[in-house]
Amino acid sequence: MGGLSQILWKAKHLTGRQPWGTNMKRWGFWQEATCPLCKDADEDAKHVVRCPRVTRVWPRAIQPLQEWLRQTRTDTDVSNVIIDGLTSFQRGDTPAIDRFSLPQDLSDASLEQDALGWRNFLDGFITTSWGKIMQARFSAGGRRMTGKRWTCSLLRHLWRLSRELWDHRNELAHEGRDSLTQQAIDELNRELLAQFQRGRDGMPARLTRHLFRGSVHRLLAKPTPLKRAWLYSIIAARERHLRRLHGDAAPLLESSRRIMRNWVQRPTWRSRLRSPVRRRRRHVNGPDQREPD
């Protein structure tokens, strides 16, 4: 998730312009604001996170954030408060961790975030106390990591979590109009796992480094279109590399190519809705006036 697409998504998400139910009704596209997944409540920014259909993937979606907290050796109490606050918000509950049992600085930061809201935390609106706490922890441990760098990385992981929940919501909303089958999805996941475990396989790092960022769990948690795009990119990269080495790479990549052909040839609901665009001309009255092209 990067580039212009991610920038546009952030802009729409942080300004509340995402096409969820309440907005679609307000804009006149839908007659009702009901969630298209659970049909039980009006869909707004909060419901996108708390919808019962999305709840099933929450443990998997939040796993990359938990892994990052471990990799950066974030203070255990800080990690527990953050995961507990986000999970409690997702469930609609109050935080389980007693704020007054924490160290004073962390207790104050937790109470400040409780007042600001954990929904805001998920959107990246966090109190400045988190960075100050981590700066103090890093300095005490003699680490070169700074609270500012930690905070910036935290924000990226929070936005990635929100994006994955939104993409999953869209995938579920359109699953009835797509011809995907569980068997095809399982086959895609198996091939993706095999390609990831195979690694660069001698390919130049400068050309494939971006494909192997993060863990395979985070990659498998992505929506199907993103997984399909990743698989297409790695197979194309392997094919170019093998062609340089052996001349003809077709026999070596036949299995992977067969899977990609199945996905490329599979019609989607968007393609079925496409129709030829007809150009309309405006008729201008007058004997000497021509119709514009």
Q: What residues pair up with 42 in beta bridges, in sequence order?
A: 34
Confidence (pLDDT) at 110: 96
Domain assignment of residue 293, yes or no: no
Cα separation of the two ends of the chain: 40
In a domain, 290, yes or no: no
Same domain, 88 and 196: no
The pLDDT of residue 241 is: 78
Would you say residue 283 lies in a domain?
Answer: no
Give the pLDDT of residue 155: 95
Domain boundary among 149, 174, 199: 174
Q: How many domains does the chain divide into?
A: 2
Quote the CA–CA distance of 255 and 39 in Å, as a whole number. Answer: 41
Residues 232 and 137 occupy one common structural domain: no
Q: 277 in a domain, yes or no?
A: no
pLDDT on residue 49: 93
Domain co-membership, 215 together with 140: no
Packing angle, helices 129-140 and 147-174, rounded to 10:
130
Q: Tell me the sheet residues that pair with 34.
A: 42
Token match 């086959």: residue?
Answer: 187
User: Are 24 and 148 part of one and the same domain?
Assistant: yes
Q: What is the DSSP string of 206-239?
A: HHHGGGG-S-HHHHHTS-HHHHHHHHHHHHHHHH
Last residue of one domain, picked from the residues 174, 197, 214? 174
Task: Say yes or no: 165 and 58 in one domain.
Answer: yes
Residue 88 lies in a domain: yes
- Residue 210's pLDDT is 81
Q: What is the pLDDT of residue 258?
A: 59
Q: Are residues 24 and 135 in the same domain?
A: yes
Please report, in tens digits, the pLDDT of each residue of the chain (293 residues total). 456 677 888 888 888 889 999 998 888 888 899 998 888 889 999 999 999 888 888 999 999 999 999 999 999 999 999 999 999 999 999 999 999 999 999 999 999 999 999 999 999 999 999 999 999 999 999 999 999 999 999 999 999 999 999 988 888 887 655 445 677 788 888 888 888 888 877 777 777 778 888 888 888 888 877 888 888 888 888 877 777 776 654 554 555 555 555 554 544 444 444 444 444 444 444 444 444 44
Q: In which domain, by residue range, is 240 found? A: 179-268
Residues 27 and 103 in one domain: yes
Nearest to 46 by CA among 94, 111, 117: 117
Q: CA 218 to CA 62: how far, in whole Å?
A: 9
